[in-house]
A and B are shown apart, each in its own frame.
Chain A
Amino acid sequence: GAVVSQHPSWVICKSGTSVKIECRSLDFQATTMFWYRQFPKQSLMLMATSNEGSKATYEQGVEKDKFLINHASLTLSTLTVTSAHPEDSSFYICSANLGSSYNEQFFGPGTRLTVL
């Protein structure tokens, strides 16, 4: 149980276009989901916390107008990279909180974004 999926697994786009990445909790409801980005050979950096039915909470330094997050249901959160540029190329990983008494996050397999 507790499976999180991401779609697409990889995407290549032209500079200036927008890309949407989906994160789904397949067998549980997640009131909270998280979005991370990971550059090559680096750690995961938390971008934002996505709460179902409310606005996302962004970490310091993350442009909320560039990285649009929507958490419209208890099983789906989306990250849209608007007007993507080559420097946005990265590995984007989402996670969903099972919401038990202690923190337990389940991670998706990640989405590789390449902006040409």
Chain B
Amino acid sequence: AQSVTQLGSHVSVSEGALVLLRCNYSSSVPPYLFWYVQYPNQGLQLLLKYTSAATLVKGINGFEAEFKKSETSFHLTKPSAHMSDAAEYFCAVGSDKVIFGPGTSLSVIP
């Protein structure tokens, strides 16, 4: 069985500050891992994905995530937050189907 936990249902950062959204996974097989972003009343947009290649994955909009097998983690970071980054972020694990974490709401304070 696969599962995902996201520590912190809500994270607030100041504009220009580091963004760190935490994700831990559980998987009995080598996982594929994803980060998605969702803006209000919209579908999901893929930020980045890990598929057993490089452990440091770079995505769109300046986001990146590092796969750490020993910690079963796939935390999402961005060096400098923008106001437009305010959204809901979902970590997901999957192979034949994707299981989503509970989500983290990111607020950016001007």
Is A104 an interface residue when CB atoms closer than 8 A count as contact? yes
Give the chain A neighbours of B97 by CB distance below 8 A. Answer: 34, 46, 49, 103
Question: Within 8 Å of chain A (Cβ to Cβ): is B59?
Answer: no
Interface size for chain A: under 10, 10 to 19, 20 to 34, or 35 or more residues?
Answer: 20 to 34
In whole Å, how far is B92's beta carbon from the nearest beta carbon of chain A? 8
Q: Interface majority SS on A: helix, strand, loop or mixed?
A: strand
Please indicate which of the listed interface residues A46, A105, A106 has the most CB atoms of chain B within 10 Å of its own CB: A105
State whether A103 and B101 are in contact (beta carbons under 8 Å apart), knowing that A110-B43, A112-B41 are contacts in the complex. no
> Which of A44, A103, A106, A110 interacts with B42 by CB under 8 Å?
A110
How many chain B residues sit at the interface, stated as a range, is 20 to 34
Interface residues of A in 44-96 (CB under 8 A from B): 44-46, 49, 91, 93, 95
List residues of chain B with CB within 8 A of the CB of A102.
Answer: 32, 51, 95
* CA–CA, A77 and B32, complex, Å: 25
**Contact among B44, B49, B101 for A107, CB-based, below 8 A:** B44
Residues 20-49 (chain A) with a chain B CB within 8 angstroms: 34, 36, 42-46, 49
Q: List 19 A-B contacts (CB under 8 A).
A: A36-B100, A42-B103, A43-B101, A44-B100, A46-B100, A91-B41, A93-B43, A103-B94, A103-B96, A103-B97, A103-B98, A104-B49, A105-B94, A105-B98, A106-B46, A107-B36, A107-B43, A110-B42, A112-B41
In order of increasing CB-CB distance, the 4 nearest A-B pairs are: A109-B43, A107-B44, A107-B43, A102-B51
A contacts, CB < 8 Å to B: 6, 34, 36, 42-46, 49, 91, 93, 95, 102-110, 112
